[in-house]
Chains A and B, each alone.
Chain A
């Protein structure tokens, strides 16, 4: 049981490049979410999903897209990277259809945009 896995662990992009951060979970959780964490700020919700085929925006969705074609996978796409997207990105999953239950986090992706 691997829990929540994320790839890559580190990434450096140039402004304007696009990329996809991968997230997968093997706990059969319905709820999955993406957060970004910046110094001095709490984790901020980017997008979330309450089940396969259903996604919704969080607090800071601009510049990011998601899809949820399977229960296990929830990739996050950066459309055109900007320096303001330099951050640590965490994927999380929880049982049920809300984040009120215990959230299990992946190890994070550290992204730098030059």
Chain B
């Protein structure tokens, strides 16, 4: 298994819909994870961190399933402004100070 994998999409959803992305990882020792958001032709920006208890920020909920080694990102009541690529970030297996970025999942929210 690759260190981190994401469904590239694109996910095309109507405004107001709920959408979820998964990200699988291979490093079973990983404790913390991140979701970054990247708008088209822009730099990535941190969306949220994910720890064992998950995380929620408004319409965004991130959860960790350690047994199955995946993290998920749920977006409720999708807005047009949510259209972006969502990057999953996991700790690198062989290092204590580096992370690995997934290839990203593309989301388009349609009017």
A residues near B, CB below 8 A?
A: 31, 35, 40-45, 48, 50, 58, 90, 97-100, 102-103, 105-108
Tell me, in angstroms, the Cα distance from A105 to B37 when the chains sit together.
12
- The verdict on A105 contacting B97 (CB below 8 Å), with A40-B8, A42-B102, A42-B103 known, is no
Number of interface residues of B (CB under 8 A): 21
- The SS class assigned to the A binding surface is loop
Write the chain A residue with the least CB distance to B95: A98
**How close is A104's CB to chain B, nearest CB, in angstroms?**
8
**How close is A88's CB to chain B, nearest CB, in angstroms?**
8
The answer to whether A41 and B103 have CB atoms under 8 Å apart is yes
Contact indicator per residue, chain B 76-111, by CB within 8 Å of chain A (1) or not (0): 000000000001000100001111111110000000
Partner of A58, one of B49, B98, B104: B98
Tell me, in angstroms, the Cα distance from A63 to B45 when the chains sit together.
27
**How close is B22's CB to chain A, nearest CB, in angstroms?**
15
The answer to whether B43 and A90 have CB atoms under 8 Å apart is yes
Partner of A100, one of B32, B44, B104: B32
The answer to whether B97 and A42 have CB atoms under 8 Å apart is no
B residues near A, CB below 8 A?
A: 4, 8, 32, 34, 42-46, 49, 87, 91, 96-104
Contacts of B102 in A (CB 8 A): 42
- The verdict on A103 contacting B46 (CB below 8 Å), with A42-B101, A98-B96 known, is yes
- The verdict on A45 contacting B43 (CB below 8 Å), with A40-B103, A100-B32, A100-B91 known, is no
- The verdict on A98 contacting B87 (CB below 8 Å), with A40-B103, A41-B103 known, is no
Given contacts A40-B103, A98-B97, A100-B97, 20 further A-B contacts (CB under 8 A): A40-B8, A42-B87, A42-B100, A42-B101, A42-B103, A42-B104, A43-B44, A43-B101, A48-B98, A90-B44, A97-B97, A98-B96, A102-B46, A102-B49, A103-B44, A105-B44, A106-B43, A107-B42, A108-B42, A108-B43
